[in-house]
Structure 1
Amino acid sequence: NPPFHRGAAIDETIARHLFADAARVLRPGGELWTVWNSVLRYRPSLEKLVGPTRQIARTPKFTVTASTRR
Protein backbone atom coordinates (compact mmCIF):
# COMPACT_ATOMS: atom_id res chain seq x y z
CA ASN A 1 0.00 0.00 0.00
CA PRO A 2 2.06 2.97 -1.25
CA PRO A 3 2.13 6.09 0.90
CA PHE A 4 0.11 8.97 -0.49
CA HIS A 5 0.32 11.64 2.19
CA ARG A 6 2.96 14.25 2.82
CA GLY A 7 1.85 15.64 6.12
CA ALA A 8 -1.89 16.17 5.75
CA ALA A 9 -1.77 16.69 1.96
CA ILE A 10 -2.38 13.97 -0.62
CA ASP A 11 0.81 13.59 -2.66
CA GLU A 12 1.07 10.78 -5.22
CA THR A 13 4.72 11.66 -5.98
CA ILE A 14 5.92 9.39 -3.18
CA ALA A 15 4.18 6.37 -4.74
CA ARG A 16 5.63 7.12 -8.19
CA HIS A 17 9.13 7.10 -6.66
CA LEU A 18 8.36 3.77 -4.99
CA PHE A 19 7.15 2.32 -8.35
CA ALA A 20 10.27 3.56 -10.16
CA ASP A 21 12.56 2.13 -7.46
CA ALA A 22 10.77 -1.22 -7.60
CA ALA A 23 11.11 -1.30 -11.40
CA ARG A 24 14.82 -0.61 -11.06
CA VAL A 25 15.45 -3.62 -8.81
CA LEU A 26 12.99 -6.11 -10.32
CA ARG A 27 14.32 -8.53 -12.88
CA PRO A 28 12.49 -8.74 -16.21
CA GLY A 29 9.37 -10.82 -15.58
CA GLY A 30 9.38 -9.96 -11.85
CA GLU A 31 6.14 -8.71 -10.36
CA LEU A 32 5.18 -5.82 -8.13
CA TRP A 33 1.89 -6.48 -6.35
CA THR A 34 0.28 -3.30 -5.09
CA VAL A 35 -2.76 -2.54 -2.93
CA TRP A 36 -3.97 1.04 -3.17
CA ASN A 37 -6.97 3.25 -2.51
CA SER A 38 -9.10 3.01 -5.65
CA VAL A 39 -9.66 6.75 -5.91
CA LEU A 40 -5.93 7.32 -6.49
CA ARG A 41 -5.81 5.68 -9.96
CA TYR A 42 -2.20 4.46 -9.85
CA ARG A 43 -2.54 2.09 -12.79
CA PRO A 44 -1.22 4.51 -15.50
CA SER A 45 1.89 5.19 -13.38
CA LEU A 46 2.43 1.48 -12.77
CA GLU A 47 2.08 0.74 -16.51
CA LYS A 48 4.55 3.48 -17.41
CA LEU A 49 7.14 2.85 -14.71
CA VAL A 50 7.02 -0.92 -14.15
CA GLY A 51 5.22 -2.54 -17.07
CA PRO A 52 1.99 -4.29 -17.99
CA THR A 53 -0.40 -4.14 -15.04
CA ARG A 54 -3.38 -6.38 -14.45
CA GLN A 55 -6.14 -5.84 -11.93
CA ILE A 56 -6.43 -8.69 -9.44
CA ALA A 57 -9.30 -7.32 -7.34
CA ARG A 58 -11.19 -4.09 -6.83
CA THR A 59 -13.72 -2.68 -4.41
CA PRO A 60 -14.92 0.91 -4.16
CA LYS A 61 -12.22 1.39 -1.51
CA PHE A 62 -9.20 -0.70 -2.64
CA THR A 63 -7.59 -1.98 -5.84
CA VAL A 64 -5.05 -4.81 -6.05
CA THR A 65 -2.80 -4.98 -9.11
CA ALA A 66 0.17 -7.00 -10.32
CA SER A 67 2.67 -5.22 -12.57
CA THR A 68 5.20 -7.25 -14.56
CA ARG A 69 8.63 -5.73 -15.15
CA ARG A 70 9.45 -5.46 -18.84
Structure 2
Amino acid sequence: MVPHATSVIRFAKPGSKSASAWLLQLLERKPRKLAAVALANKMARIIWASGHVAASKAVHMTAFESRPDPASTT
Protein backbone atom coordinates (compact mmCIF):
# COMPACT_ATOMS: atom_id res chain seq x y z
CA MET A 1 0.00 0.00 0.00
CA VAL A 2 2.87 2.39 0.71
CA PRO A 3 4.12 2.35 -2.92
CA HIS A 4 0.61 3.26 -4.08
CA ALA A 5 0.43 6.07 -1.54
CA THR A 6 3.86 7.31 -2.66
CA SER A 7 2.56 7.45 -6.21
CA VAL A 8 -0.47 9.48 -5.11
CA ILE A 9 1.80 11.87 -3.22
CA ARG A 10 4.04 12.30 -6.25
CA PHE A 11 1.13 13.82 -8.19
CA ALA A 12 -0.44 15.72 -5.28
CA LYS A 13 -0.26 19.42 -5.98
CA PRO A 14 -2.41 22.26 -4.69
CA GLY A 15 -5.31 22.83 -7.05
CA SER A 16 -5.26 19.34 -8.54
CA LYS A 17 -8.43 17.28 -8.43
CA SER A 18 -6.66 14.16 -7.21
CA ALA A 19 -5.19 15.68 -4.05
CA SER A 20 -7.39 15.97 -0.98
CA ALA A 21 -7.09 18.87 1.42
CA TRP A 22 -6.18 16.39 4.16
CA LEU A 23 -3.22 15.11 2.16
CA LEU A 24 -1.98 18.57 1.22
CA GLN A 25 -2.12 19.75 4.84
CA LEU A 26 -0.33 16.60 5.96
CA LEU A 27 2.43 17.19 3.41
CA GLU A 28 2.92 20.71 4.77
CA ARG A 29 3.47 19.38 8.31
CA LYS A 30 5.22 16.02 7.83
CA PRO A 31 7.96 14.47 5.67
CA ARG A 32 6.83 12.80 2.44
CA LYS A 33 7.63 9.25 3.56
CA LEU A 34 5.71 9.66 6.78
CA ALA A 35 2.79 11.11 4.82
CA ALA A 36 2.94 8.09 2.49
CA VAL A 37 2.61 5.71 5.43
CA ALA A 38 -0.27 7.76 6.86
CA LEU A 39 -2.04 7.78 3.48
CA ALA A 40 -1.50 4.02 3.08
CA ASN A 41 -2.99 3.50 6.55
CA LYS A 42 -5.99 5.63 5.65
CA MET A 43 -6.48 3.73 2.38
CA ALA A 44 -6.26 0.38 4.20
CA ARG A 45 -8.84 1.48 6.78
CA ILE A 46 -11.23 2.56 4.01
CA ILE A 47 -10.78 -0.75 2.18
CA TRP A 48 -11.28 -2.74 5.39
CA ALA A 49 -14.38 -0.74 6.33
CA SER A 50 -15.98 -1.16 2.91
CA GLY A 51 -15.36 -4.91 3.00
CA HIS A 52 -16.56 -5.17 6.58
CA VAL A 53 -19.80 -3.33 5.81
CA ALA A 54 -20.41 -5.47 2.71
CA ALA A 55 -19.80 -8.67 4.68
CA SER A 56 -22.04 -7.46 7.49
CA LYS A 57 -24.83 -6.73 5.02
CA ALA A 58 -24.38 -10.15 3.42
CA VAL A 59 -24.64 -11.89 6.79
CA HIS A 60 -27.70 -9.83 7.69
CA MET A 61 -29.39 -10.59 4.37
CA THR A 62 -28.62 -14.30 4.68
CA ALA A 63 -30.11 -14.37 8.17
CA PHE A 64 -33.15 -12.43 6.95
CA GLU A 65 -33.73 -14.77 3.99
CA SER A 66 -33.51 -17.90 6.15
CA ARG A 67 -36.32 -16.82 8.48
CA PRO A 68 -39.69 -18.47 7.92
CA ASP A 69 -42.37 -16.23 6.51
CA PRO A 70 -44.91 -15.51 9.31
CA ALA A 71 -47.71 -15.17 6.75
CA SER A 72 -47.27 -18.74 5.54
CA THR A 73 -47.76 -20.62 8.81
CA THR A 74 -49.16 -24.08 8.23
- TM tier, shorter chain? under 0.3
Could you state the TM-score of these two structures normalised by the residue count of structure 1?
A: 0.26
Larger fraction in helix: 2
Greater Rg, structure 1 or structure 2? 2
Q: Which has the higher strand share?
A: 1
